[in-house]
Chain A
Amino acid sequence: MEPIQEYEDENSLELPSEPMHLHMGPSHPAMHGTIRMVLELDGEIIRKVDVQPGYLHRGFEKSCERGTWSQVYPYTDRLNYCSPMLNNVGFSLAVEKLIGIEVPERCQIYRVILGELARVTDHLTCAGAMAMELGAFTPFLWIIKVRDWIWDILEIETGARMTHSFGRIGGMAKPPTEKLKELVRNVLPEIDKVLGEVNVTLLRNRIFMDRLQGVGVLSKEDALSLGVTGPMLRATGVDYDVRKATPYSGYETYDFEVPIGHVGDTYDRFMVRLEEVNQSCRILGQAIERLPDSGPINVDDPRVILPPKDEVYTTIEGTIAHFKLVMEGVKPPKGAIYSYTEGGNGELGFYIVSDGSGTPYRVRCRPPCFINLQSAGPMLVGDQVADIVPVFGSVNMIGGECDR
């Protein structure tokens, strides 16, 4: 018998030479955040990426031009909702720079404590989500457990887990609670313990390492030219941290280090974030020791700070001051400044313009992850489709901040 053999026409065996277009997102299970990527693929290799953000645009900057300066705080909470306290503090510092006031030392230390707690949650969220997207679900749960402990502390302090609206121009909404020191002291060793477990699980995992190392490499020059800041920039080997470069809130007095990477790949970004959690814990430990138990938390300036409630109810001066601050708002002098702090993802800048009235003329938020996200395109070209997930995870795009 003859063997059954059918020879195909050779032409039909050719693979298609046209590049394939693939749309990833806007709602993709492996991408945290609503974003769309239009990819041009050559087999499995990415040849072109068009990243299309904007699905969470709510008009932050336009909304800010409607109310008073203090009414911006709830909007800032919803920028980077993984670390709202850093946004609160960043905006407070911007308006204070425009007015030309400086908050008391106790408030500065308090801001450092709350801000570093928020930074820990931000970095942990990013690291945990990255691990989860690569299939490591257990470390994600451990990390979320830690994040919840910190959110419990923030809830006790501010009354809200995420949207604190706790910053005020010239101070904070409330002085620190009596429990704060004890809570932070108790949680710090626990964070350390869990992070140790996470390190053992992930960083000795061959699969996890292979998915991160050498993937999504960003060079130092590209990163600077693109305006990338934060852990992403530090992973490329540039030691730019606003807390060190232009210290605010007394960061120059704390003993901490700025971790940097060597290669600028996804692994470096992951490791820089994990190490920054340790450094934040170091700052927390020092700040807790320094926090005075008593003392003013707000500046002594009736133009920006509401009078105490008993004065409002019993004296006419207090009532008038309260009324004017609530109805007309804080009135910064005419002018424009750019103030910047180290947010969770990088340089969180506020370019604010005042026309001398109680309403902001312009509030421009320089969103770190919007500008960081721009580098996702160059990073991904030449990598494979499967690399999008870890690379995009390491960019840590937060929709609220990116799209505003």
Chain B
Amino acid sequence: MSKKVLDRLVGHFHERILETESFRGDDEARVAPADWVAVARFLRDDAECAMNQFIDITAVDYPEREQDAKPQPRFDVLLIVRSLVKKHRIRLKTRVGEGEELDTLFGVWSGANWTEREVYDMFGVRFRGHPDLRRILLYEEFVGHPLRKDYPINKTQPLVAYRDVPAAKLAPFGDDEGNPFGRIDWLARMSGRNLQVSPAIAVQQGQRPALSSASEDLAPPPPTAAAPTAPAAKD
């Protein structure tokens, strides 16, 4: 059915469509990252394609492709769209390497906003021109991109440090707002040192450990020169 779309794409873009594939009724076309937006826009605006319904954007990681004899970029970014009128679908694919940027499709289908944010979150693929490229499912302090194949599934993340948000953004709220692991050392804070939050962060930043190792604080302080025994001797 949607074989027609592939023919139409090849007929219009010729060799800029690098590869087409039909497997189990799914049609797929691969383009270069430079043609990503142009082909997407054509899919939406062309009267024969009329892909006005956004479905999904996702990615797949193939890290071993970088080690091939002919190295290829490691990420496949996929776009799935559908035509409401013609009732056909297509999958558009492109390959993006580590650290490369892909143009955003936000201007073509506004649904690309969150899905591209998710691809960035999970794979670290950045989208050029995206209006709001933040992590979406994970938090800002998350280290790494978990759906990459080289991210171990049992990797642990450091506890999150006190989040330094501009005061204007959180005006009506307390200091602890936005801090999911709030292990605050109140004594340190009251003495003006707004420091440690989590042991892991503390080690990284060379701070004193937080409440989790409070036993250190309970230990008797080491003897110092100004020992209280001196006044007693005068008596």
A binding-site residues for B, Cβ under 8 Å: 20-23, 52-54, 57, 59, 61-63, 65-66, 97-98, 100, 222, 224-228, 238, 240, 245-246, 335-338, 347, 349, 351, 353, 361-362, 364, 366, 370-371, 373-374, 403-404
Contact = CB atoms under 8 A, between A and B. Distances in A.
B54 A57 contact: no
Q: Most chain-B CB neighbours within 10 Å: which of A57, A61, A238?
A: A57
B138 A54 contact: yes
B213 to A, nearest CB: 28
Contacts of A62: 146-147, 151, 153
18 contacts: A21-B170, A21-B172, A22-B172, A54-B139, A59-B146, A63-B153, A66-B153, A225-B109, A225-B110, A227-B54, A238-B84, A245-B87, A351-B56, A351-B58, A351-B80, A370-B114, A371-B114, A374-B113
Looking at B110, B146, B147, B173, the one whose CB has the most chain A CB atoms below 10 A away is: B110
B182 to A, nearest CB: 14
Contacts of B23: 335-337
B78 interface: yes
Contacts of A364: 56, 58, 60
Interface of B: 23-26, 52-56, 58, 60-61, 78, 80, 84, 87, 91, 109-111, 113-115, 118, 122, 135-139, 146-147, 151, 153, 169-173, 177
Contacts of A23: 170, 173, 177
Contacts of A374: 111, 113-114
Given A62-B153, A225-B109, A374-B114, A404 B53 contact: no
Closest 6 CB pairs of A and B: A227-B111, A227-B54, A54-B137, A226-B111, A57-B137, A364-B58
A165 to B, nearest CB: 21
A374 B113 CA distance: 8
A404 B151 CA distance: 18
Secondary structure call for the A interface: mixed
Given A225-B109, A227-B109, A347 B55 contact: yes
A305 to B, nearest CB: 20
Contacts of B53: 224, 227, 240
B110 A349 contact: no
Contacts of B137: 53-54, 57, 403-404
A21 B80 contact: no
Given A20-B172, A226-B54, 10 more contacts: A53-B136, A54-B139, A62-B147, A225-B110, A227-B54, A337-B24, A338-B56, A364-B60, A374-B113, A374-B114
A63 B154 CA distance: 10
Contacts of B177: 23
Contacts of B146: 59, 62
Contact of A349 (B52, B56, B111, B135): B56
